[in-house]
Structure 1
């Protein structure tokens, strides 16, 4: 099987701001490879270094040390206008006095492309983002979602090798943001261009990405597919940042872990204190006579099709279980009810720090 070529690579990238005792290291020896034609997401909380890494790829910042490569070529010190890379910003940065078509054409005209080529490309981009009826309308007259599409079309028009997207959906309302997530993935698949997407929104990352790099404090904690990141988190930070997770502490003898409430689970883990993780939807709930670990319902949160039960084990450990709402077949367990829970061994993850 032929290996997919690498589009972008960061090698031991370090970026510090300031000097001396007040210096802040935004990126600390970051290395990552982004494959050609994939939708790759940099995910993490504010200040984790994801936007700094994007700016190094774009050429808006120069690394303190390390390299940035594009298609195997060192572009570390190449100015932004010399890189076959385009960026879509959170603010869109459209020209309000120009029409949709003129905004899309702007970059091509700055490159002195032939007029016929510009017209054909603009027509193709308008069709791609489904804005043909809006071609002659001023961008100031468009909705937020339509402006986002214009910004994408303008960035895609020169056919960059890599498209960088810096939290471009954060200003949209929830419904429109979900629609644009699907739209972005469609555009990436249709164009085949490598997308590097920055977000702090876990759902966005899981919805759109081929692979995700989870970042924290200037480091990449884990790189993998959405499924790998969710089901096999590398450490406690990744497990807690991606979705909801229950953490259970206990002591391992190598093949079993005894939890704080005295219950034992058959899990292979290094001897000594360990932390286990399990997702709320993997916690199984039974009635009072259903066996399992005894737990008390502290509160319930209704989400329509499912309900989150906030439980307390006998040692005070808090556990969240997600189940179908009673109307859909779930157990009706009001506050204060006593229930039994089981933790499937194949769902328990042994975490590093």
Structure 2
């Protein structure tokens, strides 16, 4: 893997095993990854997939069992955390309750022995970035959860690190605050130009904020790319199932024709595949019309979600699909209604069965 000045962090064949012998647990298999300078990169995956272990190796809290970590081309694999120009924001705010907001923000700079004037200037700068200038003299317990998270961000940004690591920092917030902070995090990353590496199991957070996403499972990195690419072109069933909602249909390919359900045939790009395949179809790519206009189907469930209504329909062989239909674009359907199901062949992704 080549290393250029365009990469903030490079992981080369990084493995991490905890314990020894039969009790050993492999957290990271053989992960290689290049994260560009100035991008918002997200590691996305379920609990236990290795994303936090990789983050901790980058931070220096863990030492890889194998491989190397590079920062701007310099090998930092064995450097202690305090020698790396990297800061971390954790799920817990970890603010000092007896210090004011300004004192919390400037604490790291004070520990570095920076002059008081520099600490004051940096503190004022980052408090302005997170829009908390008016709260400088408050104590953490006098602030909301969202405001405390902004203080934690300001503290991490104050030393102007090359890389900011964020380990599920929004998971403790309620839904409305979490959505507000998603926008704030993206704004901060753009305004500061600092490389953000964000860890989450929340696909919406990843899609909303990221320049690129790395999908992880069982210690392996499965796919890396922009959100739209990963959503529209998943490399395998796990990725298709994990990011966004997906319908999966088993189909047979014979003479380059796809057959689903009770013998329904249609054309999709097959790339030479034959035999049994799996089709991945996003719910928003499924349309429902009057009976006789597409594949015969019956509505078996309808869930109204405000802007959208989710309809689960059954084909003649009892295969089930979900269609996500904007609530104001069609007359509402009822359970038991006969419909015609239509799918744009170009929206179908063929996966290994």
| Structure-1-length-normalised TM-score | 0.97
Paired position in structure 1 for 2:122: 121
**Conserved? CA contact 1:236–1:351, under 8 Å:** yes
Paired position in structure 2 for 1:276: 279
**Conserved? CA contact 2:296–2:315, under 8 Å:** yes
Measure the CA separation in 1 of the matches of 2:317 and 2:247.
15
Query: Which piece of structure 1 moves more, 249-258 or 328-337?
Result: 249-258
| 1:4 to partner: Cα distance | 7.2
**Conserved? CA contact 1:87–1:155, under 8 Å:** yes
Measure the CA separation in 1 of the matches of 2:238 and 2:261.
22
Paired position in structure 2 for 1:340: 340
Measure the CA separation in 1 of the matches of 2:138 and 2:269.
63
**Conserved? CA contact 1:38–1:193, under 8 Å:** yes
| 1:30 to partner: Cα distance | 0.5
Paired position in structure 2 for 1:318: 320
Paired position in structure 1 for 2:295: 293
Measure the CA separation in 1 of the matches of 2:182 and 2:168.
12
Distance of aligned partners of 1:4 and 1:74 in 2 relative to their CA distance in 1, 3 Å threshold: closer
Do structure 1's residue 200 and structure 2's residue 198 form an aligned pair? no
TM superposition outliers: structure 1 runs of 4+ over 6 Å: none
Give CA-to-partner distance per residue, 1:46-103, whole Å, 9 cap, x none: 0000000000000000011111111111100000000000000100111110000000
Paired position in structure 1 for 2:166: 165
Return 5+ residue gaps in structure 2 as ranges: none
Paired position in structure 2 for 1:69: 70
Name the SS for the 1:257 alignment partner: strand
Measure the CA separation in 1 of the matches of 2:192 and 2:134.
22
Do structure 1's residue 257 and structure 2's residue 251 form an aligned pair? no
Paired position in structure 1 for 2:56: 55
Cα RMSD between the aligned structures?
1.1
| 1:260 to partner: Cα distance | 3.3
Paired position in structure 1 for 2:112: 111
Measure the CA separation in 1 of the matches of 2:87 and 2:335.
53
Measure the CA separation in 2 of the matches of 1:268 and 1:146.
50
| Structure-2-length-normalised TM-score | 0.97
| Aligned length in residues | 348
Name the SS for the 1:103 alignment partner: helix
Measure the CA separation in 2 of the matches of 1:352 and 1:257.
14
Measure the CA separation in 1 of the matches of 2:212 and 2:227.
6
**Conserved? CA contact 1:254–1:268, under 8 Å:** no
Give CA-to-partner distance per residue, 1:113-172, whole Å, 9 cap, x none: 111111111111111110011000011211100000000000000000000000000000
Measure the CA separation in 1 of the matches of 2:352 and 2:205.
26
Measure the CA separation in 2 of the matches of 1:7 and 1:332.
51
Name the SS for the 2:97 alignment partner: coil
Alignment of 1:173-184 (within 5 A): 173-184=174-185
